[in-house]
Chains A and B, each alone.
Chain A
Amino acid sequence: MQRIEFKNVIVQYKDVFALRNLSLNVDPGEFLALLGPSGCGKSTLLRVLGGFVPYEGSVSFDGQAVDDLPAHSREIGFVFQDYALFPHKTVRENIAFGLQMRKAARPTIDQRVNEMVALLRLDGLADRYPSQLSGGQQQRVALARAIAINPRVLLLDEPLGALDKKLREEMQVELRQLQQRVGITTIFVTHDQEEALSLADRIAVMSGGEIRQIGPKAEIYERPANRFVAEFMGQSNIVPASVIAFRDGVWRCRLASGDIIDAAAGADLAVGKEVFLLVRSERMKLLDGSALPADGLSAEERLPGTVDHVTYLGSQIQVRVRLVTGDVFKIFVHNTGAASFSLKAGDPATLSFSADDVIVLAA
């Protein structure tokens, strides 16, 4: 297990920066997800580590710079998006390739290949060619081949992107269990926030060749540092506001509509500052406009609006509520039976939420 350190890494293609002065530490045994839209630099970061692109700055393993090492001397397990299995070699030969390059003895190779076949449940497939395997099986061969060499770090470039939804969910569990069993430092690239949340210990959200926020996954979701991260981490209900007071540890904010909202958290705030308020869909309740039940929440923890659209999604019903400001908030209601939900487009409705669940973002 190795500690990986990127220091001031710059990658430039002609006059476009793929990575801008990026620094990052990855702890031994950690499972880190690099999350971001396409073109954000996440794959480039993996390729820097793999030794496939020229870069400025420094990459080190356990404090030792590897910048002068070519790709084949870096001892890295790389799983490519298209798996990159050698089509002219069998599963066994694919897995053995890295060991042969290390000039390992025949019995050693056979033993290690058999270990990998067992670890990744490839029994009975060892003598097949990649084109005779399903997508999920190819994925496991690619993992087996990368792990077989006991790499210092495992790099996964959108490894589940080519699989269908059901298989992807199964492989997520499998990948997570495998990583914990092998205990290898793993960096995983994805554009899917759910995948990042289900697999990783920590998430680094990237855009424009920079890390916009890095931290434990719950922190990234619960306390996004900026609007980009907030929006990338799931459907977010965001409304502009200005801070008007600070009282009893609560920031009081006013919307353009005049509605007042309280927010418990928020760093770097001051009265008069323009901000964005964010409330996660699952932290809100939807109340029928005519009823005002006693739920223990203050008037500053409610927002009035009008039902804009109702979408039936099976286990849930998605309701879009238009605020007086014109901003639209989405909320999901559990489908507990036909009688439980009667709102329709045009009905007045009220959103309620605790001040603790309001996230304040810098404008």
Chain B
Amino acid sequence: MIRVQRHTAVTLASAAVLVFMTLPLIVLFGVSLNEGSQQLFPPQGLSLRWFVNVFSRQGFVDAIVFSMELAMMATAVSVVLGTLAGLAIVRYQFLGRDLLITFFMSPMIVPQVVVGIAFLLAFTAMRIHSSFTALLVMHIVLALPFTIRVVVASLTRFRISLEEAARSLGASPIHAFFLVTLPVIRPGMVAASVFAFVASFENFTATQFLIWDRTTLPVEIFSYVQTENDPTGAAISAMIVAAVAILVASVHRYINIDAINHRH
């Protein structure tokens, strides 16, 4: 047996990371439970009134609905486009392939402020800046790096002999793709959808530039905490954390890299 030697410094560093990651969340949940209107930690008295308050404000309700619509559509489109792009990247060797991969990944690297301004200027020139379409297009672009990455990972692991076996048994290329390839990479596509949804739903910086009369939830929260000083912002944020946690937990077996391709 090989004994893994854990160095004290490594243990301390890991503990520190865990603390810094969870501490803000603990404070957030604590503040959201305050009975009074002050944002205190530990909370003074316990109450769910600020959670109720979220839904009594039409602005939040509208923003939740709007963000959901936007995120679902951005997810659907980016998963389809990401799968097509992933197929091109994994299956074909072509000139400028590496450049294309870098280009697709660039929304993850380019500062969000730059992305936002660039889209605002472009859409203004096209005279479609104040529209759902404009916002959707940008969110698709923001979600694509995530979907492409995950789909490329699943397609790379996908054994091409499965498709060839389907072909030899009489399946046309289209049949082979839909009957064999797609079902086998489905866990990867579910994971890609989760990443795309979260990337769209939580986006704040770039989204801000394209907001007009309707607004997304992160932008709504930001404008709320700028003017109001009660724990409502903490309450809605706590709900988002809980929702994301449930979402990720429910698809955990799909996202778990080892589980992909070994589902049974």
Assembly CA distance A74 to B169 (angstroms): 9
Q: Which A residues from 47 to 66 make CB contacts under 8 A with B? A: 50-52
Residues of B within 8 A of A129 (CB): 264
Contact across chains for A80 and B264 when beta carbons are under 8 A apart:
no
Asked if A131 meets B167 with Cβ closer than 8 Å, knowing A82-B161, A84-B161, the reply is no
Q: Does B102 contact A (CB under 8 A)?
A: no
Asked if A72 meets B165 with Cβ closer than 8 Å, knowing A88-B183, A88-B263, the reply is no
Contact across chains for A101 and B159 when beta carbons are under 8 A apart:
no
Contact across chains for A132 and B264 when beta carbons are under 8 A apart:
yes
Contact across chains for A97 and B168 when beta carbons are under 8 A apart:
no
| Mask of B230-264 contacts with A, CB within 8 angstroms, 1/0 | 00000000000000000000000000000001111
Least Cβ–Cβ distance between B124 and chain A, in angstroms = 48
Residues of A within 8 A of B180 (CB): 86
| Mask of A126-159 contacts with B, CB within 8 angstroms, 1/0 | 0001011000000000000110010000000000
Q: Does B184 contact A (CB under 8 A)?
A: yes
Asked if A101 meets B175 with Cβ closer than 8 Å, knowing A82-B161, A87-B184, A131-B262, the reply is yes
Contact across chains for A72 and B164 when beta carbons are under 8 A apart:
no
Least Cβ–Cβ distance between A94 and chain B, in angstroms = 9
Asked if A86 meets B165 with Cβ closer than 8 Å, knowing A129-B264, A131-B264, A132-B264, the reply is yes
Contact across chains for A102 and B264 when beta carbons are under 8 A apart:
no
B161, B169, B261: which contacts A97 (Cβ < 8 A)?
Answer: B169
Q: Does B166 contact A (CB under 8 A)?
A: yes
* Interface residue SS majority, chain B: helix
Q: Which B residues from 154 to 174 make CB contacts under 8 A with A? A: 159, 161-162, 164-173
Q: Does A332 contact B (CB under 8 A)?
A: no
Q: Does A319 contact B (CB under 8 A)?
A: no
Number of interface residues of B (CB under 8 A): 23
How many A-B contacts at CB < 8 Å in the complex? 74
Asked if A84 meets B183 with Cβ closer than 8 Å, knowing A129-B264, A145-B169, A149-B169, the reply is no
Q: Does A209 contact B (CB under 8 A)?
A: no
Q: Does A120 contact B (CB under 8 A)?
A: no
Contact across chains for A71 and B164 when beta carbons are under 8 A apart:
yes
Contact across chains for B164 and A78 when beta carbons are under 8 A apart:
yes
A155 nearest CB neighbor, chain B only: B168
Contact across chains for B171 and A84 when beta carbons are under 8 A apart:
no
B163 nearest CB neighbor, chain A only: A84
Contact across chains for B164 and A84 when beta carbons are under 8 A apart:
yes
Contact across chains for B264 and A87 when beta carbons are under 8 A apart:
yes
Residues of B within 8 A of A70 (CB): 167, 172
Residues of B within 8 A of A73 (CB): 170
Q: Does A220 contact B (CB under 8 A)?
A: no
Least Cβ–Cβ distance between A98 and chain B, in angstroms = 3
Residues of A within 8 A of B176 (CB): 72
Residues of B within 8 A of A149 (CB): 169-170
Assembly CA distance A131 to B170 (angstroms): 24
Contact across chains for B172 and A72 when beta carbons are under 8 A apart:
yes
Residues of B within 8 A of A146 (CB): 168-169
Asked if A101 meets B263 with Cβ closer than 8 Å, knowing A80-B164, A86-B165, A86-B180, the reply is no
Q: List 16 A-B contacts (CB under 8 A).
A: A70-B167, A71-B164, A72-B167, A72-B172, A72-B175, A75-B170, A80-B161, A80-B165, A84-B161, A84-B162, A86-B165, A87-B184, A88-B183, A88-B263, A101-B171, A149-B170
